[in-house]
A and B are shown apart, each in its own frame.
Chain A
Amino acid sequence: MKFTLSWLKDFLETNATLEEICAKLTVIGLEVEEVINRKEDLADFTVAIIIETKPHPNAEKLQICTVDSGEGMLQIVCGAPNARAGIKVVLAKIDTIIPINSMKIKPVAIRGVDSQGMLCSETELKIGDKEAGIIELPLDAKVGDLFIKYMGLDDPVIEISITPNRGDCLGVYGIARDLAATNIGKLKTLHEPIIKGEFACPIAVKIEDKDAILRFTGRYFKNVKNTQSPDWLKYRLINTGNSSISTLVDITNYISITFGRPLHVYDADKLPKNELVAKRAKKGEKFLALDDKTYTCKEGEVLITSNDEIHGFGGIIGGKLSAVTSETKNVFLESALFDPIEITNTGRAHQIDTSARYRFERNVDPLFVDKGQIIASSMIIDLCGGQVSESVDVGNNDFKNSKIIFPLSLVKTLGGVTLKKEKIIEILLSLGFEVKDLGENLDLTVPSWRNSDIIIKEDIVEEVIRINGYDQVDLAPLPNISPFACRILTYRQLAKTRVRRSLAKNGYFELLTWSFMNQKLAKYFGPVNEDLVLANPISSELDYMRPSIIPNLLTALKKNKARSFNSAALFEIGPVFDKVIANNDRIVVSGIKYGEDVAKNIHTRPRKVDIFDVKADIFDFINECGFNPANLRIDSKEVPVWAHPSKSSSIKIGNVLIGFMGEVHPKVLSGFDISDQVYAFEVDIDLLPEAKSKKGKKPLPTYSDFQVIERDFAFLVDSDVPSSQIVQSAYAADKKLIKNVTIFDLYKGDKIDKEKKSIAISVKIEPSDRTLTDKEIEEISQNIINNVNKNCGGVLRN
């Protein structure tokens, strides 16, 4: 919403400065977005007249102008096609700064001819968008005068953003009323002209569908002249970003901006019949609107028609067929009241954004239908001449203001401000409420222009404290919570933090990628679930709720590879989607690693990363979450679709599948156009078993001071026996004394049977209460050998 300071002061009597007014607007909820004060920028520009022009000897498109600045004659080289003798122009003298580029004018020679200044265009002064040609001021402009006196440029423009509830402030008058309530000034009494119709309105107005339009009023004007608007009106409109079209159209726009009251003017001679009918559209009817577009109506849309020809989408846009022009003589002025929901639906369906739609959607004042029509009529008579008819008026006229019983105590108990009753009443009166003092309560009548916004007693609290100032609300300390439990995060929330920081510690970069992805790439991660396709994606590459984070990580890998990151580890913690309805997102952690383990260095030879690097990282964060990773089950029978079938596995706790790890399938990598080997994992954080807090307690230590014995064994087993089975069998030989079993060698090759592998383990035996005898040690060793033999078919190698 843009308006000028003088426009505001038409209705607000105030001594406040522009800055004070703007600061006040912002705090009462009418946030100032921009103030354009051209007084300063354009202070140095003056009015001049071109005395004569002659062609430039060295340039075809340039002219040499002799210009009278009022202080003497100047020679100025100008390239504007409209530069000619006799016109009044805007002069930038030497040392003047041009707004568009902040350049200072200096005396220069242009193609060998001296130039002592510049004649300016609208764009150069940032006051309009007319690029071609210099500004031509009215012929009565005084040479030597300050330019800002013309075109209304000494009037600062204020732009405020209006929240959707404040339809009443989509008019300058409403803004003035809000400001006046803060005591920054006084609201001037609105002068209401009296219009006496000179004849009966020849246009019959009808409402065919009662719900389509609430009220329909208007007047007929005979013999009007529709030319250019007077300067004050023209420049107010232009300087606030509207265009000046013709007096009649400008008047309707002026009433709309001043009072938030949309109007429409029909060229009465172009209506096929002396009638205007509000009715519902039939499906498929065509309507040529003022914006030169033809719309195909949907069933039931609200139309204004004449002899079944469509002349408007009610309250949104008028029709081209009855548009007013400079030849227009007889017009009909419409002031009507439409249902905001109808307006929204039609406006949305056809994507028509007009100032009328904008205002009707935000509820116009239902009691201003007549006033707006009368003020506009008076302006038409003043500016366009002619004769006015009596008013026609159909529809519902029995608006009732809503009532609220307001307990005064609420200002303190909800608003947090202690205010005297008198002050509260004063604020409400100045906002237009009718107030009856009932003692503890106020009996309030809500002003018609706030009818849709102010409904409950809490709304009144906002009105009072907003006008009084939010800065007047005193800070009140938050109540204590007792008993205060110190654990703010649940186990699962904490697990996310632990996993995140564990991975970052191990060299992973945390990414945040979209929750959606390309449906075409998603197929590598399982069948596409049609329910999880977006109906209105932002782009076709982000049209599907991701079933896994790994694809997004692969995309990120590719991007970073292009930025010369030849090795990296990436992870993300976030939601993945496999169904539509859930009480919470399925939160997973996914990571990938590619390239070499370290950068080229003097100490070690870099090696390719592998799945065991990734496995270590997984174990580390599982451990951080309070679960012993030794108890995870690595099950290579169940592998994910995205992974290499024989170099991947599922990760389970008991029978619960918590995730996968593995080398990414070459087919997937080629789908992402990646040539590296990539190792990946994805673990459901929510499926980690909740480690119950032990409140810091640890079991007593079990280590002893007796000598620890280490024994090494090498077993020959079938190739497909999982190594973990050998380790478990060794452990099982003596659960009390065996503290650790480590695999330290794996051999497959010529020296042994092709179908076999050799696995060497080191077993740590730690007695708790005495040193073991050789015989006892020998017994444990034999148990280990027997166990491995029995469970895994392993044979001790010699």
Chain B
Amino acid sequence: MDLSELTSKKNSVLAQILASNYLPEIEEIRVNFLGKNGVITSYLKQLATVSSSEKAQAGAELNSIKNEVSAALDNKKRFLDQVEIDKKLAFDKLDLTLPARNIPEGKIHPISQVIDEVIAIFGSLGFFVAEGPSIENDFNNFTALNIPLSHPARQMHDTFYLKDGKSPEKMLLRTHTSTVQIRNMQANKPPFRFVSPGRVYRCDWDMTHTPMFHQIEAVLIDKNIHMGHLKSCITEFLKIFFEIDDVPIRFRASYFPFTEPSAEVDIGCAWQGKELIIGKEEKWLEILGCGMVHPNVLRSVGVDPDIYQGFALGMGIERIAMLKYGIGDLRNFFDSDLRWLSHYGFSPFDIPSLIGGLTR
């Protein structure tokens, strides 16, 4: 059996396959050469006529040619398929510069955020959170805090009163969160270690005062607490809150009816153009008031001042928020301006913690 003609046919088919760039053409070649009525089939039919001694060799050669062409066809088909896919993908091109779908974005108010920050710090120092009501009686707001009716300190507070005709005494809106001190100490037994954040009210409204604002107060009453503990608690707090290890702190003597001795605390800062930089020792800014709880206050809540003593400190949330976040105008906090809230508000995922820094 002469396969030389087939070999030359094979070569020409391989050349055709190589040259073709059209999938149907490749299919046509496959049918013509390998198909039921194709070239190889016709040779296979002839194989029956050859002698058995030649049959084996001729069969092997035929098979080899068939495989060679089949492989070439497969390769080309795979190649052309890929080209086809590439072409189709290229045609489907999507403009990824189009905007992303909208994800609604809300914000946490800076005051809530700062309260959470302060709680995180005092929490780490072992202080629990205690709360109390906005509407208070005179005893909790003044008398129990060693501020008798005639005391000049009462003039420092511009108190809101309710018209309320039913209560035996005139009810008022608390002027400080120190009322929670009284409530919490009356209801529990010493030692005490708590912070109380909340709304407070004073009848004053101008550039630097709003009729409502927020305070947070920390109280620690135990058997051997002194000014040194107060100083370290405040130092620790201010370092963590402002995230500055060596923030300059100044304690100076002051007066509050509910503490003795009393102090006010300043932090060092500097103006750089319009920006206030905390942590420079150039100018002092008042940040909080504090002192050792006055024995009369302890007595008013039934705690024996000869056994227990301790400290209280209080500060304005708005003030520390303004200092930390460079907020210029107090009134904006209560303005409900979404532009301002977008700018100064916090992401819901900004949950203050001491392990990753208090803020971003």
Q: Point out residues on A near B: beta carbons under 8 Å.
A: 26-29, 31, 163-166, 340-341, 344, 361-362, 412-417, 456, 458-459, 461-462, 465-466, 470-471, 473-481, 484, 488-490, 493, 497, 500-516, 530-539, 542, 545, 555-556, 559-560, 563, 565, 568-570, 573-575, 577, 580-585, 598-599, 601-604
What distance in Å separates the Cβ of B212 from its nearest Cβ neighbour in chain A? 5
Q: Point out residues on B near A: beta carbons under 8 Å.
A: 98-99, 101-102, 104-109, 111-112, 116, 119, 122-123, 125-129, 131-135, 150-153, 155-156, 160-167, 170-171, 173, 183, 193, 199, 201, 203-205, 211-212, 220, 222, 224-233, 235-236, 250-255, 260-264, 292, 294-295, 309, 333-334, 336-339, 341-342, 345, 347-349, 351
Q: Of all chain B residues, which has the CB nearest A490?
A: B129
Partner of B255 from the list A165, A497, A537, A545 (CB cut-off 8 Å) is A165
Q: Of all chain A residues, which has the CB nearest B291?
A: A462
B106 touches A504 (CB 8 A): yes
What distance in Å separates the Cβ of A408 from its nearest Cβ neighbour in chain B? 14
Report chain B residues within 8 Å CB of A500: 108, 112, 348
Q: Of all chain A residues, which has the CB nearest B213?
A: A512
A538 touches B205 (CB 8 A): yes
Report chain B residues within 8 Å CB of A481: 126, 193
Offer 17 A-B interface pairs, CB within 8 angstroms, sorted by A.
A28-B253, A164-B153, A416-B226, A459-B260, A461-B260, A478-B236, A479-B224, A480-B126, A481-B126, A504-B347, A507-B106, A509-B342, A512-B109, A532-B162, A538-B211, A575-B134, A575-B199
Q: A344-B150, A478-B220, A516-B212 are in contact. List 8 more A-B contacts (CB 8 A).
A: A462-B261, A476-B226, A503-B106, A510-B112, A534-B163, A573-B112, A575-B134, A603-B101
Instruction: Using A458-B292, A484-B126, A580-B135 as known contacts, say yes or no to A509 and B106 having CB atoms under 8 A apart.
Output: yes
What distance in Å separates the Cβ of B227 from its nearest Cβ neighbour in chain A? 4
Report chain B residues within 8 Å CB of A28: 252-253
A585 touches B134 (CB 8 A): yes
B255 touches A163 (CB 8 A): yes
B261 touches A489 (CB 8 A): no
A163 touches B166 (CB 8 A): no
A461 touches B165 (CB 8 A): no
A470 touches B212 (CB 8 A): no
Q: What CA separation (Å) do A515 and B212 show in the bound complex?
A: 8
Instruction: Using A563-B338, A582-B135 as known contacts, say yes or no to A475 and B235 having CB atoms under 8 A apart.
Output: yes
Q: Of all chain B residues, which has the CB nearest A348?
A: B155
What distance in Å separates the Cβ of B128 from its nearest Cβ neighbour in chain A? 6
B150 touches A341 (CB 8 A): yes
What distance in Å separates the Cβ of B173 from its nearest Cβ neighbour in chain A? 8
Q: What CA separation (Å) do A570 and B109 show in the bound complex?
A: 11
Partner of A580 from the list B153, B166, B232, B334 (CB cut-off 8 Å) is B166
Central interface residue in B171, B183, B260, B333, by most chain A CB within 10 Å? B260
Central interface residue in A165, A584, A601, by most chain B CB within 10 Å? A165
What distance in Å separates the Cβ of A300 from its nearest Cβ neighbour in chain B? 15
Instruction: Using A344-B152, A476-B232, A511-B341 as known contacts, say yes or no to A470 and B253 having CB atoms under 8 A apart.
Output: yes
Instruction: Using A504-B106, A599-B102 as known contacts, say yes or no to A535 and B338 having CB atoms under 8 A apart.
Output: no
Report chain B residues within 8 Å CB of A165: 255
What distance in Å separates the Cβ of A512 from its nearest Cβ neighbour in chain B? 5
* Chain B interface, DSSP helix/strand/loop, else mixed: mixed
A489 touches B119 (CB 8 A): yes
Report chain A residues within 8 Å CB of B231: 416, 470, 473-476
Q: What CA separation (Å) do A509 and B108 show in the bound complex?
A: 7
B292 touches A414 (CB 8 A): yes
B104 touches A462 (CB 8 A): no
B336 touches A26 (CB 8 A): no
A602 touches B164 (CB 8 A): no
B163 touches A29 (CB 8 A): no
Report chain A residues within 8 Å CB of B227: 414-417, 465, 470, 473
Q: What CA separation (Å) do A415 and B28 show in the bound complex?
A: 104
A505 touches B337 (CB 8 A): no
Q: What CA separation (Å) do A556 and B228 show in the bound complex?
A: 46
Report chain A residues within 8 Å CB of B151: 164
Partner of B108 from the list A458, A466, A501, A585 (CB cut-off 8 Å) is A501
What distance in Å separates the Cβ of A672 from its nearest Cβ neighbour in chain B? 14
Q: Of all chain A residues, which has the CB nearest B123?
A: A488
Report chain A residues within 8 Å CB of B167: 531, 580-581
Central interface residue in B220, B226, B232, B339, by most chain A CB within 10 Å? B226
Q: What CA separation (Å) do A609 and B152 show in the bound complex?
A: 55
Report chain B residues within 8 Å CB of A598: 102, 104
